[in-house]
Copies of this chain bind each other. A is one copy, B any other.
Amino acid sequence: MATKHVKEMEALKEHLGKHQLKLTRQRELILSAFLRQEHITAEAMYHQLAKSDPHLGLATIYRTLNLFCDAGLAQARHFGSQTKYDNVSHKGHHDHLICTGCEKIVEFENEEIERLQEEVATRHGFTIKTHRLELYGLCTRCRD
């Protein structure tokens, strides 16, 4: 268990050291749980961890997930009214095909599109940190 995610743990420790922050039981716990996810909200993580750690506060989850963002381990993304924290080590799969009929969501990735996005950004002097691509339409079943 402690032997999984060693690389991310090291990255966190390095960030903590650089900013005179401390390594706590909660930060280890939340990192370990976070790395098992592809993307998750603070609220969802709160409920999930409540089973094993009923006294872990919601504020701590928020603080820690934001810390992970600073450390480059996570990326915040606004989806609906909530913020989802993406696990950066699971690259790709950020893009969605969404059926407006049955609300089904299909994840996809397209390298060519990603490349063109970089190109557009560079042309405008931007450095992309993250992106969102959502295609709305009808799936095969809902079209009939």
Q: How far is the CA of A79 from the CA of B113 in the complex (A)?
A: 22
Residue among B112, B127, B132, B137 making CB contact with A128, cutoff 8 Å: B137
Which A residues from 86 to 132 make CB contacts under 8 A with B?
A: 97, 99-100, 106, 108, 110, 112-113, 116-117, 120-121, 124-132
> Is A78 an interface position by the 8 A CB rule?
yes
Most buried by B among A81, A133, A135: A135
Please determine whether B120 and A116 come into contact, CB atoms closer than 8 angstroms: no
Please determine whether A124 and B136 come into contact, CB atoms closer than 8 angstroms: no
Please determine whether B130 and A131 come into contact, CB atoms closer than 8 angstroms: no
A110: which B residues are within 8 A, CB to CB?
A: 116, 120
Size of the chain A interface, CB-CB below 8 angstroms: 34
A3: which B residues are within 8 A, CB to CB?
A: none
Distance in Å from the Cβ of A76 to the closest Cβ of chain B? 10
Which A residues from 46 to 69 make CB contacts under 8 A with B?
A: none
Residue among B78, B99, B112 making CB contact with A81, cutoff 8 Å: B78
Given A100-B129, A129-B100, A140-B125, residue A135 in contact with residue B108 (CB < 8 A): no
Distance in Å from the Cβ of A113 to the closest Cβ of chain B? 5
Q: How far is the CA of A65 from the CA of B63 in the complex (A)?
A: 33
